[in-house]
Structure 1
Amino acid sequence: MLAGLSSQTPDKIMALMRAYAADPRTDKIDLGVGVFRDPAGRTPVMAAVKTAEERLWRNQDTKTYVALEGDPAYLAALSGLVLGDAVPADRRAAIATPGGTGAVRMGLELARLANPSARIFVPDPSWPNHAAIIGFLGLERVDYRYYDAQARGLNIEGMLADLGRAGPGDVVLLHGCCHNPTGADLSAQDWQAVAGLLTETGAMAMVDIAYQGFGAGLEADAEGLRILAGQVPELLVATSCSKNFGIYRERAGALFALAPDGPTRDLAQSNLTMLNRQTYAFPPDHGARVVTEILTDPDLRADWQAELEGMRLHMQRQRQGLADTLRDLGGSDRFAHLGAQRGMFSLLGATPDQVERMRAEHGVYMIGDSRINVAGLSPDLIPRVAQAMLAVGL
């Protein structure tokens, strides 16, 4: 029977990881995989996470199951981190999920249950797994304009024009901050415009916020989402603790469904709980407990926020350093946008041939669409990357 399976296309990021590992060059540079790296090139365990895990090891006295929707304390703490007081607690349904990808999957599953013919409006470009999950679920994807490659910035006019075609029963997917792959984010004014448009059209938004704290700061990165949450009657929010807590392999995430009233909230909660039960029963708990310990202890939370801010500033320094070096070497400010963008990722605007040349000739690895992880840079690597970019004609 297994011989009847269809061959699947390998994941591009996983294929890049394998190619990088097989490359014998000692001076190769990995700008592909989306993990934070410190100046030494390591992805460290955050100090607050270490402390929280030690406390759990000493004090946790059972590994029995928690609720199907996940630990209520975790969901409350993470809901507060992401949504603040933008929406009353009695309008929030929630489940813990295996990472942010699990949250995105469950959000789309919920949308499909509510309306099997829902169209999912997706920014162009977007994280590739968005389209992959939508396609796997058999939902219709509609791309909307988001990034202007020539202007190297947000195309808000095109975005709003395209989203005007969405209506009741449709879902508009938005990146909460640190847009992947472009690093170009909506301003507060843009979020207001999107909220107003969704209110007019009746389409429901789904916000994927996987990098809170990596852009302009922990609270600033949630501002747009909270603007939206305060104005629309319904909203799905997928969040992840992988990046801002550095617990990638622990798979800690959550999905929130904001409803207009209590009965609808209860209906959403029953469906979310059912989805967890049918998919993996109980969600993973260790990473969730670590996050809860950090967010509910004032001293530990302060330590975590300070370390997170240090990570954010490190990435911003690498961004600006690359932009400045390209200006100095190339005599042009055409890469100034790299310093102005936010988060881990930016698009260089390279062709697939230029991306391949940077890999083959200079040992610089990135995704085929020329997305780079700026957290993979360090001061000593920036000149080499800049020289490779210019050498291939960027």
Structure 2
Amino acid sequence: MREPRSSRAVWTALGLAAGPASAFAFARFAYAVLLPPMRADLDWSYATAALLNTTNAAGYLLGAVLAARVGRVLGTRRAFLASMLVTAAALGASALSSLLPVLLVLRLAAGISGAVTFILGAALTAALASQLDGPRTARRSALLMGIYVSGGGMGVVVTGLLLPAALSWFPPEAGWRVGWAALGIAGVAAWMIAVPAARRAPSPPPRRTGARAPVRTLLPLLAGYTLFGAGYIAYMTFIVALLRGQGAGDAEVAVFWIVLGLAAMIGGFAWSPVVGALSGGRAPALLMVVVALGAGLPLLADHPVFSLGSAVLFGGTFLALVGAVTHAAQRVLDPSQVTDGIGTLTTGFAIGQSIGPVLSGVASDSADGVQAGLALSVVILLAGAVVFLGQRPQAAHPGT
């Protein structure tokens, strides 16, 4: 296959970015906006509300374990696109039931398909980056991965426009259902955007016999990424509940969510020179500290300046950190190991996501409320930053 030009590679990565929009923003983050009306209508405790996110995270864990195998059986492109359709169906179907067991099954399905989408889309992006050459290959590769993960920010902007409007236009008991239906439609739209990009992207090289990603080489990245999964999800799950508790209305929540999404879109681009320049675990560690600062800002004062500052800091960094970890792994692995390596890292991330909502949910049900859950997330994130520093620089493979 002829080497893609940089501009064509950028457009392809933008199309593939519809995958994280579906897997992250629609299937996971949007629940934070729908949680308060669902909790009020269905009379849930914070622990019950967190159970849905824990189930979704457990599905994400299962999907992370299965993704590379599914990609080998169905083909990376076909599995990537099929998983996006499964996600859209699970989201839309969530509008049809108020029964907790049914909602748990649908959240599980969205988690499984979301992990397959992200991992295989990242593998396609890495394969695209591996065909670039030139003196600044590492920075261009970081840019493409940053573009890919910034799709999550694009999706957050979409949910920030759709969901608060649905909640304000319809009665409380119907608004959250309309929100899930809108997410299902948005998921189909994301799939339509991803189809031509997936067809243009080169396939990842097949894994050679015995060429599994070496876990020992990735251990600091894996441990730090697990802590990131546990820490960031508490913020994304309960930040809207905190804002509501501080008196924020639909308009304020919409503004916060849109600012967070716009920051995430820009962050993928803005951080790429730093990610490309720093080797080993230094880039993930730096970004983790910024994420922790962003998560902690709303705890300092009940004021819009702090909440919007949090949206900018956290939003502008947390998806860029996902790209930084993926890029760091790409630089130390053989191209044939990248899909398995991303799957291994995402498995740790998913384990953290499974644990995080439980810890934060229990903490949020304490006397200190949601603030306790967010404070716990800050501590976990800072611990993860220290762990990331243990990742040693490795000689980059050609094309990475």
Fold shared per TM-score above 0.5 = no
TM-score (norm 2): 0.25
TM-score (norm 1): 0.25
**Structure holding more strand per residue:** 1
Structure possessing the higher radius of gyration over alpha carbons: 1
